[in-house]
Amino acid sequence: MLLDAVTSLIKNYDLSGQYLDRQALDSIKSYYQSGTTRIKVANIINANAADLVKKSSQQLFEELPELIAAGGYAYTTRRYSACLRDMDYYLRYASYALVAGDNTVLDERVLQGLRETYNSLGVPVGPTVRGILIMKEMIKEMILDAGMSDTGFVDSPFDHLAREFSDISV
């Protein structure tokens, strides 16, 4: 279930039987005030998704050439394609989390299933995390180029993915 920041906040207050306090109301106000910016960023991601995946993977493979060398985890065409597919998947769900202002969708739709899959396949987590962080930095550059000065909110979903993947023991 895709939750936005408001629904998630209200759910948490409801579960604890509390009225919305000043902090909660300020959080809701901030969510609505940042809505236009979050949608603009989602549009930037959507318009540049293929290029973001392509360029971030190129940078990742330049930094870690052993991934595409013989025997590397992205060596065969099939594995290389799977890597790009996964990067696109992370980017798409990170954009959902940005619009929602809530990372819950990442836990439910990305991280739960991939933990087991990556563990069972022995997929190296370090390069996955690095690829996610490269995409984040590229998006922040695009946002700055588009004239938006505040890029900090972009960190949340990408850092959440990176942090959660880093907790996977492979």
Domains along the sequence of the chain with CATH: 1-33 (no CATH), 35-166 (1.10.490.20)
Tell me how far CA of residue 92 lies from CA of 20, 29, 43, 75, 157, in angstroms.
Answer: 32, 26, 11, 24, 11
User: What is the model's pLDDT at position 1?
Assistant: 56
| pLDDT tens digits, 3-58 | 788 998 999 999 999 999 999 999 999 889 889 999 999 999 999 999 999 999 99
d(CA 35, CA 74): 38
User: What is the model's pLDDT at position 2?
Assistant: 67
Q: How far apart are the first and last CA of the chain?
A: 28
Q: Which residue has the tokens 């972009």?
A: 154
Predicted TM-score (pTM) of the model is 0.88
| pLDDT tens digits, 85-134 | 999 999 999 999 999 999 999 998 888 878 778 878 888 889 999 999 99
Taking residues 72-86, report their average pLDDT: 93
| pLDDT tens digits, 140-168 | 999 999 999 888 899 999 999 999 988 75
User: What is the model's pLDDT at position 170?
Assistant: 41
